[in-house]
Amino acid sequence: MIQQIKKFLYDSLSLLAFPLFYLRWAIGNTYQSKNNNLKEEPKPPQYPKEWSDLFIHSYNNEHEKVLEILQREPNSINSVDSLNWTLLHVAVSHKSIDVVNLLLEKNIEISIKNNKGYTAFHIAACNGDLDIIEKMISMNRVPNGNIISNDMETSLFLSITNNHFGIAESILNYYHSNMIGSDNNNEKKNEFKKMIDQFNVHGVSPLLMSVLRKNLMMIKKLIEMGADINSFKKDNSTALHCAAIIDFTEAIEYLLNKGGIEMMNSVNRYGNSPIHEAAIKGNFKSIQTFIKQLKIINENEQKQLFLEIIDKKDKDGSTPLHLCCNCVNSNNIENNLKSCKVLIEEGGVDVNGVDSGNATALHILACVSGDLSLPLVKYFLEVGCDPTIENRYGWTAIHQAYHNKNIQVYQLLLDHLKSKNPTYNLDIEKKRVFPSSLNNSNNNNNNNNNNDSSLNNSEELKLKGIERLKNVIKDIKDGKIKNAIVLSGAGISANAGIPPYRTKDGLLAKNKQFSFSMELLEKHPDVFYEAIRDHFYPIHKASNENDREDGISAGIKSTTSHYFINELNEKHGCLLRNYTQNVDPLQERTGTPLEKIIHAHGSFDQWYCTVCQKQYTDKSDRIWREIGRGGLPFCTVPECRHVIRPAVVFFGEPLSQDFRVNTITDFRKADLLIVMGTSLIVYPFASLVNDVASDVPRILFNFESTGPFVNTNDLNRKEKLKQEESLNNNNDNNNDELIVEARGNRDVVILGDCDKGVNYFNSLFNSI
């Protein structure tokens, strides 16, 4: 039980990075077993062993003792512990107001951040300590408002997140008067604007958080002070999307009045507008509010806007009406029904409207298992929905209900058909007709019809793909592309002699016992480092001992793909960042600046001891020489001598802070995304491909299509390749052909060897 209480308290204070040992005293003295009637002697407080008397007195609000020490040792006022907590951090966290006042009067440094990036002001804002906040403000002892934590949180953001709106208002008023005041200083205005729009690592701004906390007054104050009404989260959802999701109708009305009806057309990464999100949740009140706002505008514009917004299709081709009917997981069918009624009766939506698969809302309802959708089906039939409309596969809603074994829905649709259209010829056992089958049936006199159709499709996609590549090249040459991001994986190092992990020659296949894990390193360091040596230190490839500048992958040279990434920076000046899954230094060897490269999974450039935390940079090659001769690298601290580890991400460990902070900022700026040599199956790295805006072009250089780039052509090729491998009894694919094709409405794939793909791109670049 006590462990559960500890966990609860620790989790509830995680925003503050408040160390658990700071809470032990409180827990030990307040927790008593219900079954224990005996009085226990209070346990003495347990402080961190490293804490001096000054820290302990500050924690316990012992003003006189703190003053006495500071008078004797004035330089100790800015002391920090191992977590970089100052006396002010400690006093604020324990609400030791007398000591806080003393420290502020003694001019303690107020901008020091602890190990999680929080100042004492952050902690007070998060904890809701209005007295401390007002004291610091009254003394003008407040740090810069744009200081952010490791998770990119400002003090303003933390106060709103934790529902301390009085504090948020005080912070806003203070910084507004100090940053803007009466003078017309644009630099200060920009600083204030930056503060009120600063988003955290998830892309959530103070405005978005105010919506999520359902605080209309804070929403109004932020917008009146200049907050960006169109700010968006990592998934491109705006404040209006958030309001629609939580059914915050007052916010919807206010945001639309301030930002205009065009806000309703904004879409997130899934292609969903705010009304789509309301429909998914069955939030009929939000849908009503959207329609009400639409009806306010001029009637001549209304019809077009209704078509654009009320019947808008998302990326899957679904309209809001279709989404209202997709109620398979709904907890409240009544809300789904009300949402449909609002769209049809107040919004004038066509009950027989179809999605991209030519399915009506009735088709969707007929697929909902367990006859859950029966009330909605009855309503749709009452308002004139036609159950005989066929989807792209030739099935009506009746077929869908029958084959999904939704007996009541099937019987209802059948009875309706018999009463309204008794002459309709229904073949209930009719087979679905897929598009490829349709092509075959239309061309059954041609023995090669299927291959011809596939060939024509591939040729069309190739021409479109080349056209898109030329457009990207032209934009690079014209300087329109300024912030290209490259996602690279093991595939770009394959031609250097480092096989990708999951191939038959890769690290995981050759070393069945190996895994990047602390468990293996601690229990079997010899197995761990033997695998590391074999994969990352192929001595047999060393061409010259003097080439070994950094030891790792000795003698191996960077590939054409690595140099292509460097040229984006050096030659074209458009590389914003290279996010790489690789832990080798081959990209750095091309001359790409270190600040342009982020190793998402860590790098063998850095090492550290897990016991004493001593860090190592292997400039002298000592560590790799030890590994290369079959030894183990040990910590050089005499009293430690523990086996050290590389600073790479082990299984179960979070990615680096650099990765988290930079991705959220960089991907908002990106105007081109290039993906090279990665299978996009390891998350969260794989999710980055979806973090660019929906109109940003994406190019894939890879042996095969993967992730969001896959289409039916790729699946057919994969199946054909398997058959060929089976016939040849050979798992090697020696096909040197490059495949260039368009995908979706913005993507291009260049499939084959990465270096050959780069050569193709460069030749096209030089020909324009």
Q: Concatenated DSSP letters for 370-390?
A: GGTTHHHHHHHHHTT--TT--
User: CA-CA distance, 493 to 500, in Å (whole number)?
Assistant: 8
Q: What is the span of the domain harbouring residue 23?
A: 1-42
> Could you give phi then psi for residue 635, rounded to 5 degrees?
-65, 140
Residues 470 and 321 in one domain: no
User: CA-CA distance, 156 to 151, in Å (whole number)?
Assistant: 14
Q: Is residue 74 part of a domain?
A: no
Q: Is residue 470 part of a domain?
A: yes
Q: Is residue 747 part of a domain?
A: yes
Residues 368 and 296 in one domain: yes
User: CA-CA distance, 383 to 356, in Å (whole number)?
Assistant: 22
Shortest CA distance to 271 belongs to which of 316, 320, 241, 315? 315
Residues 247 and 298 in one domain: yes
| pLDDT for the residue 121 | 98
Q: Is residue 507 part of a domain?
A: yes
Residues 573 and 609 in one domain: no
| pLDDT for the residue 139 | 95
Q: Is residue 549 part of a domain?
A: no
**CATH at 279:** 1.25.40.20
Residues 429 and 571 in one domain: no
Residues 566 and 620 in one domain: no
State both tokens at 332.
Answer: 């409240």
Q: Is residue 376 part of a domain?
A: yes
pLDDT, tens digit, 9 for 90 and up, residues 664-690: 999 999 999 999 999 998 888 999 999
State both tokens at 434.
Answer: 């897929």
| pLDDT for the residue 729 | 53
Residues 415 and 307 in one domain: yes
Q: Is residue 113 part of a domain?
A: no
Burial label, 640 (beta-carbon count in 10 A; 0-12, 13-18, 19+): middle
Catalytic-labelled residue, pool 63, 276, 601, 642: 601
User: CA-CA distance, 327 to 282, in Å (whole number)?
Assistant: 9
Residues in the chain with pLDDT < 50?
A: 1-36, 437-455, 506, 509, 512, 539-554, 731-734
Residues 370 and 274 in one domain: yes
User: CA-CA distance, 563 to 591, in Å (whole number)?
Assistant: 9
**CATH at 758:** 3.40.50.1220
| pLDDT for the residue 454 | 44
**CATH at 514:** 3.30.1600.10
Dihedral of CA atoms 588, 589, 591, 595 in degrees, nearest 10, equals 10
Residues 398 and 335 in one domain: yes
601 labelled catalytic: yes
pLDDT, tens digit, 9 for 90 and up, residues 134-158: 999 999 999 999 999 999 999 999 9
Q: Is residue 402 part of a domain?
A: yes
Residues 688 and 607 in one domain: no
Looking at the structure of the chain, the number of domains it has is 4
Residues 507 and 430 in one domain: no
Residues 350 and 485 in one domain: no
